Amino acid sequence: MRNSQNITLTRSQSLPATADETTWSFPGAVVGFVAWLLALAIPFMIYGPNTLFFFLYTWPFFLALMPVSVVVGIALHSLLDGRLLYSIVATLLTVAAMFGVLFMWLLG
């Protein structure tokens, strides 16, 4: 049996300190959610208040894009090494493209 009572760690033998890593989840999530809100406003800017009648039956599809947009924001922000300006532009373009594809698919 191993004698574990005599194990002591000195300062030189201590565990290596881990560097604090930057977390990309919160800024990326905020960028993804804001991109979702802005993409939700695009049909209103194009078609005006008549968009509400279209959203009456199709809102679950657009609501389902919200967590996808947040995950896309987190992923792009982490892939771009935390560069906020590039991740904002990439997330806005990606989420707008997802909304455009869904909108065109629903229009038939």
User: Using an 8 Å Cβ cutoff, are 62 and 4 in contact?
Assistant: no
Using alpha carbons, list the distances in angstroms from residue 81 to 21, 22, 29, 52, 94: 11, 9, 15, 38, 17
- In tens, the pLDDT along 50-79 reads 888 988 999 999 999 999 999 999 999 999
At 33, the pLDDT band (50, 70, 90 cuts) reads very high
Distance, CA of 24 to CA of 34 (rounded, Å): 16
Which residue ranges make up each domain of the chain? 24-107
pLDDT of residue 5 exceeding 80, the answer is: no
pLDDT, averaged across the chain: 86
Mean pLDDT of 43-53: 89
**Encoded tokens for 84:** 């906020």
